[in-house]
Amino acid sequence: MKEWMGKIRNLSLFTLMLLLLSACGKDNLTALVPKGYGAEESLRVIIITITVMIVVFVVVMAIFVYVLMKFRQKKGQENMIPKQTEGNKTLEIVWTVIPILLLIIIAVPTIAVTYNLADETEKEDSININVTGKQFWWHFEYPEEEIQTSQDLYIPVGQKVYLNMLSSDVIHSFWVPALSGKMDVNPDNENTMFIEAYEEGVYWGKCAEFCGDSHSLMDFKIVVVSQEEYDQWVADMQNVDPEFVPESTTAQEGKALFEDSCLSCHAVGNTPSVGPNLSNFGDRTMIAGVLEHSEEELVEWILDPASKKPGNGMLDAPYLQDDSVSEEDAEKIAEYLLQLKASEINPDSAE
Ligand code: CUA
């Protein structure tokens, strides 16, 4: 008995550890610790549903075990058939009504929450952001603020922010578990959702619809900041100057190389682009959503993006076909890109 208890205790410790580990790889990548309206509402429905399921499971198992014990074959009664019950109206009404009641208990809050999350009434005076899913990254456009960026979605805390979502290739799914539920991002019809974050912080997001080789690497984040920080970020992004000339000669050479080899797909500033917009790239914390933000990683990414994110759109870049960017060139480009910082471009506005 004691041995069994020990085993059970070890097993539950192990499960707990797994749960903790799975949640701590990337902070906040969990729906069980909600930090926004959508996630909180969803968790409410999850808890109600799980509670109903546990009650059903326990009751059914109890009856099952009771029946097994009471009606098991006893010695000397091998050929006995117990009394059979059929057409019992009361019993049939009871086991029809109970599931209906349980389904109502689940359905009412589920439908209410679904309608709450579909609310679009305050769209006019809210922040609207156009989200585009692409293999395997996210483009964010703030049309009223005239800002375009990628991978990091900045929003102010405590405000409803509306997302209008489209894909430019296959179906993706936008999911920031700590803030809200999943929403399909389709090529044809625009889907909308809103997010409202309760706490400042960086919330990790995942693409939740299989979309190709690097589906699992289609990470992004929502950066929730105070209203003042948000206003500052907007100002910094609006001040992005594509003509900005860095101080060092290598970075200047990097800029020229970037304009030759990269600018046909990428963009800096409020310009539409096929590839990720790199405005204030130096201020970001990740490269391509999944790589450490260092010069070394950036050089490797420029020279061999297939090794980091298989199947991504950059693999078609002409410079990779004709090997026109050497390692030395890539280092210069990286140096230039890492200097694309609000504080470098416009020292006065960054404070
Ligand atoms: Cu995009 Cu999976």
Q: What percent of the chain has pLDDT over 70?
A: 89
325 lines ligand 1 (CB under 6 A): no
211 lines ligand 1 (CB under 6 A): yes
**134 CA from centroid of ligand 1 (Å):** 8
Of residues 116 and 9, more confidence is placed in 116
Q: Which atom of ligand 1 is nearest to the CA of 212?
A: 2
Give the mean model confidence (pLDDT) for residues 171-199. 95
172 lines ligand 1 (CB under 6 A): yes
Q: Which atom of ligand 1 is nearest to the CA of 135?
A: 1
User: Which of 158-167, 168-177, 336-345 comes out lowest in average pLDDT?
Assistant: 336-345
pLDDT score of 127 more than 50: yes
**84 CA from centroid of ligand 1 (Å):** 56
Residue 347: pLDDT band by 50, 70, 90 thresholds? low
Determine the pLDDT at residue 11: 60
Give the mean model confidence (pLDDT) for residues 4-19. 61
- Ligand 1 atom 1, closest CA: 172
Q: Which atom of ligand 1 is nearest to the CA of 133?
A: 1
Same fold, 29-63+89-226 and 249-350: yes
Determine the pLDDT at residue 351: 43
Does domain 29-63+89-226 correspond to CATH entry 2.60.40.420?
A: yes
Determine the pLDDT at residue 217: 95
Distances (CA, A) of 50 to 30, 102, 178: 17, 12, 19
Residue 350: pLDDT band by 50, 70, 90 thresholds? very low
> Which sequence spans correspond to the domains of the chain?
29-63+89-226, 249-350
Determine the pLDDT at residue 5: 61
148/253 Cα distance (integer angstroms): 25
**306 CA from centroid of ligand 1 (Å):** 17
Check: CB of residue 280 under 8 Å from CB of residue 147.
no
Q: What average pLDDT does the chain have?
A: 89
Determine the pLDDT at residue 168: 95
Q: Which atom of ligand 1 is nearest to the CA of 218?
A: 1
207 lines ligand 1 (CB under 6 A): yes
134 lines ligand 1 (CB under 6 A): no
User: Which of 21-25, 185-189, 317-321 comes out lowest in average pLDDT?
Assistant: 21-25
Close Cβ partners of 154 (under 8 Å, ≥ 6 residues apart): 222, 223, 225, 230, 233, 234
Burial of 96 (0-12, 13-18, 19+ CB in 10 A): exposed
Residue 121: pLDDT band by 50, 70, 90 thresholds? low
Q: pLDDT of 190-234, one tens digit each?
A: 999 999 999 999 999 999 999 999 999 999 999 999 999 999 999
Of residues 124 and 72, more confidence is placed in 72
Q: Which atom of ligand 1 is nearest to the CA of 185?
A: 1
pLDDT score of 80 more than 90: no
**166 CA from centroid of ligand 1 (Å):** 13
**215 CA from centroid of ligand 1 (Å):** 4
218 lines ligand 1 (CB under 6 A): yes
Residue 60: pLDDT band by 50, 70, 90 thresholds? very high
Does domain 249-350 correspond to CATH entry 2.60.40.420?
A: yes
User: Which of 77-81, 88-92, 134-138, 236-240 comes out lowest in average pLDDT?
Assistant: 77-81
Q: Which atom of ligand 1 is nearest to the CA of 210?
A: 2
